[in-house]
Structure 1
Amino acid sequence: MTETLLVTGASGQLGRAVINHLLDAQEIAPASIIAATRNPENLADLAARGGVVRAADFNDGASLEKAFEGADRVLIISTGDLDLKTGRRLKQHETAVAAAKAAGVSHLLYTSMPNPEPGSPVLFAGDHYGTEQAIKASGIAYTILRNGWYQENLFMALPHAISSGKWYTSAGDGRVAHGARDDMAAAIAASLASRSKESHIYTLTGPQAYTTSEVAAIVSDVTGKPIEVVQVPDEGLTEGIKANGVPEDFARIIVSFDANTRAGRIGEVTDTVEKLSGRKSRTLRQFLEANRAALLG
């Protein structure tokens, strides 16, 4: 019997990519895919192909339970609500887990982060760890996909570093195995379509881990622009980011990434993306070369 697969956050970048891989690489029939989103109008193209599009609001448990009706396997893509003062994102995720249980979902998948356990410097790690615990407590079979840092996240720092010639960081000699968002989406789609009934935790990373200085050297080679890496304390980095117009709470989140890197908690390299997706991962150099024009502005 064909399983029905549901993706939340389906109109977002990761959600859309997962659905595209379900349709293409995994050859899932559109009618077997439910795309849940706050903005159904953004998925008119999927509906036109025969996909099922349903409205779902993570702040409304009833809407989630209704959206999840008839779904066998549900992928909960973590929301972008990073309000550190309210703990709203964890509440949203817990609401989604409860809705999945009420709807009789047989397998639950969730996009987490590497090493979210207590003690993580990342300020929102507790949202992911708390969600993982809620999933385990639900009794539903699960697949937790701990997504590493995206190569695309480098756009937060690189354009300014390239234009100014200086890359300010507090990451020290810590390493990051940046991975392509689309590669992770391909792996997630394969896991969602796998029909596996066992519970798993996977860490998804890029194919190689680099220090900030090593990344800067590759960027300089690709763009022809020299970059000096300047190590600064967390406090100084926070103030510098704020001086560029970034709100304090988000500046603190950005700096917590560097603290996490410095602590060695994001440097792990796995081949899980390639094993799940069956395709070769994009390297950091390939990403930089493909985006050279955008990085140079």
Structure 2
Amino acid sequence: MTAIAITGVTGHLGGFVARRISEAGLPAKHLARRPEKAPKLSGADVFKASYEQSQEVVAALKGTEVLFMVSAKEHPERLQQHKGFIAAAREAGVKHIIYTSFYNASPQSIFTLGRDHAATEQYIKQQGFAYTFIRDNFYMDFFVDLIRTDGEIKGPAGQGKVSAVLRNDVAEVAAEILQNPKKWENQILDMTGPEELTLADIASQAGQILGKEAAYVEETVPEAYESRKAWPAQQWEYDSWVSTYTAIAAGEQAGLSEDIERVLGRKPTSLKLYLQTLAAENQ
């Protein structure tokens, strides 16, 4: 049986995948910076490990053939953290890395964090691993949460469209690939929703179905930087927040993929269905 290791088990995506793998009856190693926060699941052994090249990480990964690597928390040193962890995985004898990347990741991505993802993909290839890159578009849940908390989506996205994807759909894809990793070796899978929408479209649907005031507020780039100063942050964070919207405006987040349907045998969840599910839960 293929030995599996899963990172990010204390978070949404990694936690979902860990539960699915446990429910499937597959043993797995769970890697966590804070093991005490890891879910207690059948068939899981929890190991303390951070994204770094250390003997602690090498020991945790020993015996692993397939590694599910959730991208590290946003940080100015994230790429170096990724490289250290990948080097430790190679030293431990890992054969295949399944990595959560970003839709249209490239060294020139307008969304600044997409550049780190592109560099991480390249490093995984350079180190000789079999790979599967799950390239997530922006999460549908993110935009809906803005409406639910603020009543608006605000940014310089213009009339650009985004094929936003539900986070749980991505998690289901990852769990399915982990159960049959050979089938998906050396492939790049694009995670998109079933439709391209402007942020005004998203706000309109959310307002109608959730029964609340909702709007898309267009900003200029300088206005976007200024409004985000309400949250104390470093410059790289402001750059990433604003480039979320400028990437949409430029068309980098448009386009539709059939990869979720290829893996799961069903179409990705639509915004309408997701909103209807939320509305039903709140009744």
TM-score by length of structure 1 reads: 0.87
Corresponding residue number in structure 1 for 2:114: 125
> 2:34 aligned to 35, 39, 43, which one?
39
Cα distance in 2 for residues equivalent to 1:21 and 1:264: 34
Q: Map Cα deviations across residues 185-205 of structure 1 (whole Å, 9 max, x no partner).
A: 110111122131731111111
Cα distance in 1 for residues equivalent to 2:245 and 2:193: 18
Cα distance in 2 for residues equivalent to 1:13 and 1:192: 17
Cα distance in 2 for residues equivalent to 1:292 and 1:251: 32
Q: Which amino acid aligns with 1:121?
A: I
Corresponding residue number in structure 2 for 1:275: 262
Corresponding residue number in structure 1 for 2:21: 22
Corresponding residue number in structure 1 for 2:160: 174
> 1:208 aligned to 189, 195, 198, which one?
195
Q: Map Cα deviations across residues 55-78 of structure 1 (whole Å, 9 max, x no partner).
A: 111135322211110011011110
Instruction: Report the Cα offset of residue 290 of structure 1.
Output: 2.9
Structure 2 counterparts to residues 251-290 of structure 1, below 5 A = 251-290=238-277
Q: Once superposed, what is the RMSD of the aligned Cα atoms?
A: 2.2
Structure 2 counterparts to residues 20-99 of structure 1, below 5 A = 20-24=19-23, 27-29=24-26, 32-43=27-38, 45-46=40-41, 49-80=42-73, 82-84=74-76, 88-99=77-88
Instruction: Report the Cα offset of residue 100 of structure 1.
Output: 1.4
Contact 1:261 1:267 in 2 (8 A): yes
Q: Map Cα deviations across residues 188-239 of structure 1 (whole Å, 9 max, x no partner).
A: 1111221317311111111212001111210121133343433221110121
Contact 1:5 1:193 in 2 (8 A): no
Cα distance in 2 for residues equivalent to 1:61 and 1:9: 18
SS at match of 1:178: coil
Contact 1:242 1:248 in 2 (8 A): no
> 1:193 aligned to 159, 166, 179, which one?
179
Instruction: Report the Cα offset of residue 159 of structure 1.
Output: 3.1
Contact 2:15 2:39 in 1 (8 A): no
SS at match of 1:157: helix
Contact 2:97 2:130 in 1 (8 A): yes
Instruction: Report the Cα offset of residue 161 of structure 1.
Output: 4.3
Asked if 1:135 corresponds to 2:124, the answer is yes
Cα distance in 2 for residues equivalent to 1:293 and 1:172: 31
Identity of aligned residues (%): 29
Gapped runs of 5+ residues in structure 1?
A: none
Corresponding residue number in structure 1 for 2:216: 229
Cα distance in 2 for residues equivalent to 1:160 and 1:7: 32
Q: 1:124 to 1:167 in 2, by over 3 A?
A: closer
SS at match of 1:202: strand
Asked if 1:8 corresponds to 2:7, the answer is yes
Instruction: Report the Cα offset of residue 89 of structure 1.
Output: 0.5
Instruction: Report the Cα offset of residue 153 of structure 1.
Output: 1.2
SS at match of 1:57: coil
Q: Map Cα deviations across residues 50-99 of structure 1 (whole Å, 9 max, x no partner).
A: 3111111113532221111001101111011x233xxx100111111111
Instruction: Report the Cα offset of residue 247 of structure 1.
Output: 2.4
Give every structure 1 segment of 4 or more consecutive aligned residues whose post-TM-superposition deviation is greater than 6 Å.
Answer: none
Instruction: Report the Cα offset of residue 252 of structure 1.
Output: 2.8
Cα distance in 1 for residues equivalent to 2:142 and 2:179: 27
Cα distance in 2 for residues equivalent to 1:39 and 1:278: 35
Contact 2:192 2:268 in 1 (8 A): no
Q: 1:43 to 1:219 in 2, by over 3 A?
A: same
TM-score by length of structure 2 reads: 0.91
Cα distance in 1 for residues equivalent to 2:57 and 2:179: 21
Contact 1:114 1:146 in 2 (8 A): yes
Q: Which amino acid aligns with 1:200?
A: Q
Q: 1:157 to 1:234 in 2, by over 3 A?
A: farther
Cα distance in 2 for residues equivalent to 1:44 and 1:22: 13
SS at match of 1:179: coil
Cα distance in 1 for residues equivalent to 2:181 and 2:217: 48
